[in-house]
Structure 1
Amino acid sequence: MIEKQMKIGIISLFPEMFSSTIKFGIIHKAIKKRFLKLYFYDLKSQVDTYRKSIDDRPYGGGYGTIVMASPVIRSIYSAKKKLGKNSKVLYLSPQGKILDQNSIRKFLKEEVLLLVCGRYRGIDERIIENEIHEEWSIGNYILSCGEFAAMVILDAIARLIPGVTNCYKSTEKDSFSKGLLDHPHYTRPKTIGGLDIPSVLLSGNHKKIEIWREKQSLGQTWLKRPELLKKIHLTQRQRYLLNLFQKEYKRKSR
């Protein structure tokens, strides 16, 4: 359980991009309930007055521009003065480790995070070596800026803070929470497009429903994200249920 308010600083060239993000949804709830407090640091305010530019050409030539070191360093120091010198500094870039649910849970243990949003072709490497604790990516693709990645991280963190969502326990059963995808979900009406709700869900037998959901969770992972199964140690019960799902699936596919 998180007893203290979590603080997250965001260093961005365009902090105004976050205005809608913090006005709606789960991030807004976390802020309103005072579980989360955000601080924004505008890179533009740290630009050298004589240069009046945030980026410059890379040494050695090549395409594109690089965010200059001084505005980023000044922003980091300014944030640390407010948030504390022990703030964990994360740089959001395509070269970072791929974000997953376990990573988000680890972030929750931090009292203060400082997110540095990448832009253009990146930031000066010396900043990464001297000021950045960890590099993180939200996937193997390129975005125009790190602000979108920061929004993803904020949302993922906010929804896991106890007390923010109406039903916190539901987040413990989300896809990836235990290394597996979630089971299928159904609601009214009973029939849609000729397809009925699985009869076990109408049985009222909670034990059978629990077993069905566990089997489906294993099966959906096997069908959609089989690489996840290689990362976890399946119990004898799980291996049995997965084998049962595979037999049923192959029988239906004939």
Structure 2
Amino acid sequence: MRIDVLTLFPEMFEGVFGASILGKAREKGIVSLATVNFREYSTNKHNTVDDYPYGGGGGMVLKPEPVFAAVEDLMREGEPKPRVILLCPQGETFSQSKAEELSREEHLVFICGHYEGYDERIREHLVTDELSIGDYVLTGGELPAMVMIDSVVRLLPGVLGNELSAVTDSFSTGLLEYPHYTRPAKFRDWEVPEVLISGHHGNIEAWRRRQSLERTFRRRPDLLERMELTPADRRFLEELQKNEAET
């Protein structure tokens, strides 16, 4: 995969792209990570990339010329057009399913804005996706871009040491992930659930499923509304609801 980030602050990405999972994926050649300072594509003598909004109002707006020029310069003849992602509070809320969708692309371009907003022609004629990481406003799109890139890259084949890790993550199945335990089996009188050391894989899987259901029921019940539940799942949740009502 190839990932390019348009940003006025490329130095913000140096540590993130060189460390941990992203750094290892880059070293293995699984992903190409690059930043582009789109100020270099400004055509005026002061290298400005923003201007006052037509119609008045506070703040400055990113001009279309440098952003279009930077993205178009990244396109290579004979290669599919990239997925161009605009980071903005108005966008679709980023999710695990969106990360999985983007992980199947060959080339992603993230546009990190600043100031009051973007010239609307960038939205209408250049980008393919508008994404947000939540209902709050940040100084710029750099931090959301880092979050999304990390989430996408870890799904690429060969990035994680154990390919099952991404499959069983919270939200990958639609549920929150079940609890994990490791050695020692007993720590300060707190013992690992007996089923996990029983060696009975069927019972372990059933326990994990129930734990995921219960954790989701208690912490994110909204997720259950979108889940395709089995009859056994529904019976378990009904029992939880009954116990909750009684207490």
- 2:17 touches 2:33 (CA, 8 Å); kept in 1? no
- 1:215 touches 1:245 (CA, 8 Å); kept in 2? no
Q: Which residue of 1 aligns with 2:113?
A: 118
- 2:85 touches 2:128 (CA, 8 Å); kept in 1? yes
Question: Residue 7 in 1 paired to residue 2 in 2?
Answer: yes
Distance apart, 1:183 and its partner CA? 0.6
Q: Which residue of 1 aligns with 2:182?
A: 187
Distance apart, 1:241 and its partner CA? 2.8
Say which SS state the counterpart of residue 104 (structure 1) adopts.
helix
Q: Which residue of 2 aligns with 1:234?
A: 229
Q: Which residue of 1 aligns with 2:147?
A: 152
Whole-angstrom distance in 2 between the partners of 1:63 and 1:83: 43
Q: Which residue of 1 aligns with 2:104?
A: 109
Q: Which residue of 2 aligns with 1:57?
A: 52
Q: Which residue of 2 aligns with 1:31?
A: 26
Whole-angstrom distance in 2 between the partners of 1:125 and 1:31: 34
Say which SS state the counterpart of residue 87 (structure 2) adopts.
strand
Q: Give me the identity figure in percent.
A: 39
Select which of 139, 143, 149 maps to 2:134.
Answer: 139
- 2:186 touches 2:192 (CA, 8 Å); kept in 1? yes
Distance apart, 1:81 and its partner CA? 4.1
Distance apart, 1:246 and its partner CA? 4.5
Q: Describe the superposition over 1:180-211 as per-residue Cα deviations: whole angstroms up to 9, x where unpaired.
A: 11011122344556543323223333222211
Whole-angstrom distance in 1 between the partners of 2:94 and 2:10: 22
Question: Residue 98 in 1 paired to residue 93 in 2?
Answer: yes
- 1:43 touches 1:75 (CA, 8 Å); kept in 2? yes
Distance apart, 1:137 and its partner CA? 0.9
Change (3 A) 1:146 1:82: farther
- 1:13 touches 1:43 (CA, 8 Å); kept in 2? yes
1:37 aligned partner, one-letter code: S
Change (3 A) 1:186 1:245: farther
1:115 aligned partner, one-letter code: F
Whole-angstrom distance in 2 between the partners of 1:79 and 1:122: 23
Q: Which residue of 2 aligns with 1:3?
A: none
Q: Describe the superposition over 1:94-128 as per-residue Cα deviations: whole angstroms up to 9, x where unpaired.
A: 11111111111111221111111121122101111
Q: TM-score, normalised by structure 2?
A: 0.92
Question: Residue 209 in 1 paired to residue 209 in 2?
Answer: no
1:199 aligned partner, one-letter code: E
Instruction: Say how many residue pairs are matched.
Output: 247
Distance apart, 1:82 and its partner CA? 7.6
Q: Describe the superposition over 1:56-89 as per-residue Cα deviations: whole angstroms up to 9, x where unpaired.
A: 2212222211112211111111112489461121
1:100 aligned partner, one-letter code: S
Distance apart, 1:142 and its partner CA? 1.1
- 1:216 touches 1:245 (CA, 8 Å); kept in 2? no
Q: TM-score, normalised by structure 1?
A: 0.89
Name which of structure 1's ranges 28-37 and 47-56 shifts more when overlaid on structure 2. Answer: 47-56
Q: Which residue of 1 aligns with 2:74?
A: 79
Say which SS state the counterpart of residue 165 (structure 1) adopts.
coil
- 1:8 touches 1:112 (CA, 8 Å); kept in 2? yes
Q: Which residues of structure 1 form unaligned runs of 5+?
A: 1-5
Question: Residue 18 in 1 paired to residue 13 in 2?
Answer: yes
Q: Which residue of 1 aligns with 2:172?
A: 177
2:215 aligned partner, one-letter code: Q
Say which SS state the counterpart of residue 179 (structure 2) adopts.
coil
